[in-house]
A = this chain, B = another copy of it.
């Protein structure tokens, strides 16, 4: 995996892909699938909001350890994404059952998911209990450029998804922030 500059992390979250939220409770890793997240700050110090609540098993571990990894799977993991979202870490060793590989992170004691395109090491920065939102600060990013198929997944509800299709390059229309567009 290659370093992903923090200022580019938003490019993999803003499009709304299904992601995994990975936690680790005393060395026992777990992960959940989620599609409710928002880029709150997209500069060198990214903040990402995620909707997660007490009904999620991962919530307790996140409260305890204050850190997690957001991992972005590609389309080839679609079936596992749904299966992982339909069982609980309370009684299932999901990394083992679904054949995923935990890989040591650098800044947090939560593993990366080796099979994912992007992994973001995060710290719990704040929470807004009223709306079951946690605010995560991304402290390190990784991208695995070995993935030939980098298409992400988008959840349209009830187990139906759209895979990334055609790419559109409209950078020439970004006249308001021309210096921002990196070519």
A interface vs B, CB < 8 Å? 8, 10-12, 14-17, 35-41, 47, 49, 51, 75, 78-79, 82-83, 85-87, 128, 131-133, 135, 151-177, 180-182
B160 touches A14 (CB 8 A): no
CB<8 Å pairs between A and B, sample of 26? A10-B157, A11-B157, A14-B35, A15-B156, A36-B38, A37-B38, A38-B38, A40-B51, A40-B131, A82-B174, A83-B173, A86-B173, A86-B174, A86-B175, A87-B176, A158-B171, A158-B174, A159-B170, A159-B171, A160-B167, A160-B170, A161-B168, A161-B170, A162-B166, A162-B167, A163-B168
* Residues A159 and B131 in contact in the complex (CB < 8 Å), given A38-B51, A86-B174, A164-B154: no
Q: How far is the CA of A37 from the CA of B78 in the complex (A)?
A: 23
Q: Which residue of B lies closest to A50 (CB)?
A: B38
Q: How far is the CA of A162 from the CA of B132 in the complex (A)?
A: 29
Q: Is the interface of A mostly helix, strand, loop or mixed?
A: mixed
A39 to chain B, nearest CB (A): 5
A181 touches B165 (CB 8 A): no
Query: Please, which residues of chain B bring their CB within 8 A of the CB of A87?
Result: 176
Q: How far is the CA of A8 from the CA of B78 in the complex (A)?
A: 22
A153 touches B180 (CB 8 A): no
Residue from the list B78, B162, B175, B177 in contact with A15, Cβ < 8 A = B162
Q: How far is the CA of A8 from the CA of B158 in the complex (A)?
A: 10
Q: How far is the CA of A91 from the CA of B120 in the complex (A)?
A: 40
